[in-house]
Structure 1
């Protein structure tokens, strides 16, 4: 499964944002910020990572459906896609 260039750009953007958020969380911890604020930021990072993962899986599903509609006899490993999807849940 390859990620198309449009989705790849979006995923990279989300991951870079999460990377910045993680740096922010580290700085918050080092400066002794309130744990409620730290946990709030960690939750935001987690959601950003989840969205990146879901975008990758959605791209793969879209490619499989498109390939089948175009008559490509590519076999879809549904169990593998399901396992990937559930790993993010």
Structure 2
């Protein structure tokens, strides 16, 4: 996760440099898109981890677990 976030951080710094150099908007937009996708992927992995923790740490009550999973999706997506 940290490597993925470091990569996104590098992409954002690259975008900043492109703006400073006055590069074309389409090139900058392309890099924004790539950074957003990378950040979305990191977010999806974190959300999956949160769901796994919820599923594994519940006390065996299937309805409560499903309610918790629904709450997580509603709150974070």
Fold equivalence (TM over 0.5): yes
Q: Give the TM bin, normalised by the shorter chain.
A: 0.7 to 0.9
Q: Deviations over 1:2-26 (max 9, x none)?
A: xxxxxxxxx2111110100000000
Long gaps (5+) in structure 2: none
**Matched residues in 2 for 1:16 and 1:43: separation?**
17
**Matched residues in 2 for 1:16 and 1:26: separation?**
15
Q: Who is 2:19 aligned against?
A: 29
Tell me the TM-score normalised to structure 2 length: 0.79
Q: CA RMSD in A?
A: 1.8
Does 2:64 align with 1:82? no
Structure with the larger RCO, 1 or 2 (CA within 8 Å, 6+ apart): 1
User: Segments of 4+ in structure 1 off by > 6 A?
Assistant: none
Q: Which entry has the higher C-alpha Rg, 1 or 2?
A: 2
